[in-house]
Amino acid sequence: MPKLKKKSSKLTPARTMILGFSVIILLGAVLLCMPFSSKTGQFSDFVDCVFTATSATCVTGITVYDTFNHFNAFGQGVILMLIQVGGLGFLTFVTFFNLMMGKKLGWSTVKNVAGDFTDNALASPKRLFNEVVLYTFAIELLGAAILMTVFIPEFGPYGIFISIFMAISAFCNAGFDLLTITPGAVGVSNYTHNPVVMITLMVLIVVGGLGFIVWQNIRHYNNAKKLFLHTKVVLVTTGILIFGGGLIFFIVEFNNPATLGEMSLGEKIQTSLFMSISSRTAGFPCFDLNNLSPISKIVTTVLMFIGAAPASTGGGIKVTTIAILIATVWSVLKGNEDTQILGHRLKRDAVYKTLTVTALSIGVIIVAFLIISISNPEFSVQDMVFEIVSAFSTTGYSMGISTDMTVISKLTMVLTMLAGRVGPVTLMLSLVIRSANPKNKVMPEGNILVG
């Protein structure tokens, strides 16, 4: 009698990542909904807690509960731990599941799913992981120490926790804050005049958003004597987006009394740069975002969609993706057969992946928009697009409509945040069952008219 082959129960790396995030989110939601997490001592709505836990784990920052006023110290601590775990990203989950499953997940396989790490970077994954954890905690501790010089004199011993919370939230590009301890505060609105707070947060956001591979390359520059092409593209594109976005905000909002209009010149420059940096997945508002001009809302939406760098604490389609898209268009216009960028010719699979990421990202946003628009027809199109892009890019900026969403809309936002954090490609890999087509199958060449 022939033996029946057992179906493999091995989880794919993509599904492992999704499962890892889901387990952490569910655990966090259960803790947050308990009476011992709220200041009222009562149970919190479970769906809202799932939303909050997802927003924290996916380092998004969109809230349906005010973090300071709704949650007590324990609840705030849970949110902080979720932000830290989510900020460290897939490396944390790989290590976590290695320990839980008692086996190793092949780094070559994980690399194919994560897609964020170059071959050179993955040559020594253990060293990379150690450096990521060490640098993360060191940078967050330094940032917290600087913030303490402002928050301890203002809030006493609780200022220590606020400083730690804000430093971790900024570095992880999460956007959660406890600054509503001051009634009427909107994000960092009470500190736009304070360069210590603003500059410290900006540096933490930018460093967290550059990505672990860029850190490692810069850290070991003396050994390599060169910067990777990846590092160069990230640094150049990030600089252009920061100063370009800041210039647009400065010009458009200069005379807007509800945003920059009443500020001094120095404060306007500082706040414009902060808005540009924060818009790319950090999500700390400087004022009520509903007061932004239509042009600024569009620019903010674009910056959110682009996001930070690969293998970073930020989200979005990533700065390298937009750089490759622009380079590909420019190369086609110049008549080049291959995409060229900064004196290098890119492999075609990088271009294919760039197009795939962009197409899937737009697809996720469109599907989320259709569901939410049907479930909440009272919301304006611009507000819905802004909120959904903010969720997908894990930015956390909000027009305040998430609180009023139906359960279906909130769960849609949850899935959108999860898709944005793990990446649309990883999400699709976890859902699609690959066929066993032979790799070397010869297929006839075809041609399709384009444009």
Which of 169, 193, 198 minimizes the C-alpha distance to 260?
193
pLDDT tens-place string over residues 82-121 = 999 888 765 555 555 554 555 444 444 444 444 444 444 4
- The 8-class DSSP code of residue 102 comes to T
Q: Give the count of beta carbons closer than 10 Å to the beta carbon of residue 17.
A: 27
What is the mean predicted confidence (pLDDT) over 125-129? 62
What confidence score (pLDDT) does residue 440 get?
Answer: 59
Q: Is the pLDDT confidence value at 192 over 90? A: yes
Which CATH fold topology does 316-431 show? Helix Hairpins (1.10.287)
What confidence score (pLDDT) does residue 310 get?
Answer: 85
Q: Is the pLDDT confidence value at 305 over 70? A: yes
More confident site: 365 or 21 = 365
Q: CA 112, CA 107: separation in Å to the nearest integer?
A: 9
Sorted by sequence, the CB contacts under 8 Å of residue 21 that are 6+ apart come out as 57, 58, 86, 93, 418, 421, 422
What is the mean predicted confidence (pLDDT) over 373-388? 94
Q: Is the pLDDT confidence value at 9 over 60? A: no
Q: What ranges do the domains of the chain cover?
A: 12-107, 119-288, 316-431
Name the phi and psi angles at 71, rounded to 5.
-100, 145
Contact between 109 and 137 (Cβ < 8 Å)? no
More confident site: 217 or 71 = 71
What residues form DSSP beta bridges with 144? Answer: none
What confidence score (pLDDT) does residue 113 get?
Answer: 41
What confidence score (pLDDT) does residue 236 get?
Answer: 94
Exposure b/e, 413-439, CB count within 10 A at least 16 = b: bbbbbbbbbbbbbbbebbeeeeeeeee
pLDDT tens-place string over residues 142-184 = 999 999 999 999 999 999 999 999 999 999 999 899 999 999 8
Of all residues in the chain, what percent carry a pLDDT higher than 90? Answer: 56
Contact between 425 and 317 (Cβ < 8 Å)? no
What confidence score (pLDDT) does residue 438 get?
Answer: 56
Sorted by sequence, the CB contacts under 8 Å of residue 251 that are 6+ apart come out as none
Cα dist from 141 to 134, 161, 165, 198, whole Å: 11, 12, 10, 17
What is the mean predicted confidence (pLDDT) over 344-354? 87
Mean pLDDT of the chain: 85
Which of 425, 447, 445, 442 minimizes the C-alpha distance to 12?
425
What confidence score (pLDDT) does residue 119 get?
Answer: 43
pTM for the complete prediction?
A: 0.87
Rounded (to 5) percent helix, strand, coil in the chain:
65, 0, 35
pLDDT-derived band at 266 (thresholds 50, 70, 90) equals very high
More confident site: 363 or 212 = 363
What confidence score (pLDDT) does residue 46 get?
Answer: 95
Of all residues in the chain, what percent carry a pLDDT higher than 70? Answer: 83
Cα dist from 198 to 150, 204, 262, 274, whole Å: 11, 10, 18, 7
Q: Is the pLDDT confidence value at 42 over 90? A: yes
What residues form DSSP beta bridges with 340? Answer: 345
Q: Is the pLDDT confidence value at 423 over 80? A: no
What is the mean predicted confidence (pLDDT) over 117-138? 64
What confidence score (pLDDT) does residue 432 get?
Answer: 58
pLDDT tens-place string over residues 386-406 = 999 999 998 889 998 999 999
What confidence score (pLDDT) does residue 17 get?
Answer: 74
